[in-house]
Amino acid sequence: GAVVSQHPSRVICKSGTSVKIECRSLDFQATTMFWYRQFPKQSLMLMATSNEGSKATYEQGVEKDKFLINHASLTLSTLTVTSAHPEDSSFYICSAGRPGWEQYFGPGTRLTVT
Amino acid sequence: AQKVTQAQTEISVVEKEDVTLDCVYETRDTTYYLFWYKQPPSGELVFLIRRNSFDEQNEISGRYSWNFQKSTSSFNFTITASQVVDSAVYFCALSEGRNTGTASKLTFGTGTRLQVTL
C-alpha cells in the first residue's frame, strides 16, 4: 500500500514557540492532504483539508492563523502550530489522498508543549 | 451532516472469546463509504476494511468479519476467537462517496477500546 510519513514523530517545545510538522506521501502524488488532531482517549477530529496549490479549508472552530497549513507540492504538506500553548499538546495525524476514496494515514506526531 | 456513533466505549474480553463492536452511522448521501481502523498503543492507524454503500455483502477476513445493514445504518465488526494482540482502539469512519475530484474527508466515531486478557 501507499506510504505516508510524518516528521517528527515526537516533539517537545516551550510555550510560545512554533513547531512545524511535515507530512509526506512517499510513493504517490497526493492531491489532497488532511490534518487530524487526537486528544488522549478521544477520537480523531479533522482540523483542515488542503489541496495542492490552494489554500487549506479549515473545520469550524480551528484557528487558521494558529494552525498554518501549506501544501506546496503533491508529496508534501506542513502543519505549523504557531505560538504553541500547553492546550495544543495533542497527537497530530495527517493523511494523504487521491480522488476517490483512497486516504493513507501517517504514523502521527505527538506534540507536547511545556 | 455525517455522524458515526460507537456506543461501546470500552469492552473487555478474555482471550478466545468472540466480540462484536457496534457502529451506527448517519448520512444524507446515497453514496458513501464505511471504514474500520485499528489504533494500537503506538498510535498509528491501521486500515481494516472499506465498504461502499452499494455493497451490503458481509465480509470475512480471517478472524475478522463485518456486517453491513443499510436498513439499520449499522456496520458492525466481529472478532472471532480474540487474541491479546487485538487489544487496541477501533474506530468506525464514514466518508462521502461522490466523485468530487478530490479525496473525501473522514468522519470518525468516538472509538471502542478493546482489552483482551489471558
The letter for the amino acid at B74 is: S
- The alpha carbon of B17 is separated from its chain's Cα centroid by a whole number of angstroms, namely 19
Q: How many CB pairs under 8 A join A and B?
A: 65
pLDDT per position in chain A (114 positions), as tens?
A: 688 999 999 999 999 999 999 999 998 888 889 999 999 989 999 999 998 878 899 999 999 999 999 988 889 999 999 999 999 999 999 999 876 656 889 999 999 999
pLDDT-derived band of residue B96, with 50, 70 and 90 as boundaries?
confident
Query: For position A51, what pLDDT does the model report?
Result: 85
Element (H, E) at A61: none
Alpha-carbon span A73 to A54, nearest angstrom: 10
Q: In what order do the strands lie in the sheet with A76-81?
A: A4-7, A19-25, A76-81, A67-73
Q: Which three cell numbers stand for residue B110?
A: 468516538
**B43, B101, B105 member nearest A46 (Cβ):** B105
Query: For position A71, what pLDDT does the model report?
Result: 87
* Cβ atoms B97, B28 nearer than 8 A: no
Alpha-carbon span A20 to A34, nearest angstrom: 15
Q: Would you list which residues of chain B are within 8 Å, Cβ to Cβ, of chain A?
A: 33, 37, 42-45, 47, 50, 52, 91, 95, 97, 99-111, 113
Torsion from C-alpha of A91, A62, B110, B77, nearest 10 degrees: -90
Residue A75: helix, strand or coil by DSSP? coil
A88: number of Cβ within 10 Å: 19
Contacts of B92 by beta carbon, 8 Å cutoff, 6+ apart: B4, B6, B21, B23, B25, B34, B35, B36, B75, B77, B108, B109
Burial of A16 (0-12, 13-18, 19+ CB in 10 A): exposed
Task: Inform me whether the C-beta atom of residue A53 falls under 8 Å from chain B C-beta atoms.
Answer: no
Query: For position B55, what pLDDT does the model report?
Result: 86
Query: For position A84, what pLDDT does the model report?
Result: 97
Check residue A55 and report its DSSP letter.
P
Provide, rounded to the nearest whole percent, the portion of chain B with pLDDT above 70.
Answer: 94
Residue identified by cell 508534501 is: A76
Alpha-carbon span A2 to A4, nearest angstrom: 7
Query: For position A98, what pLDDT does the model report?
Result: 73
Can you tell me the mean pLDDT for B4-14? 97
Query: For position B101, what pLDDT does the model report?
Result: 56
Alpha-carbon span B16 to B3, nearest angstrom: 32
Cβ-Cβ contacts under 8 Å, B47 against chain A: 1, 105
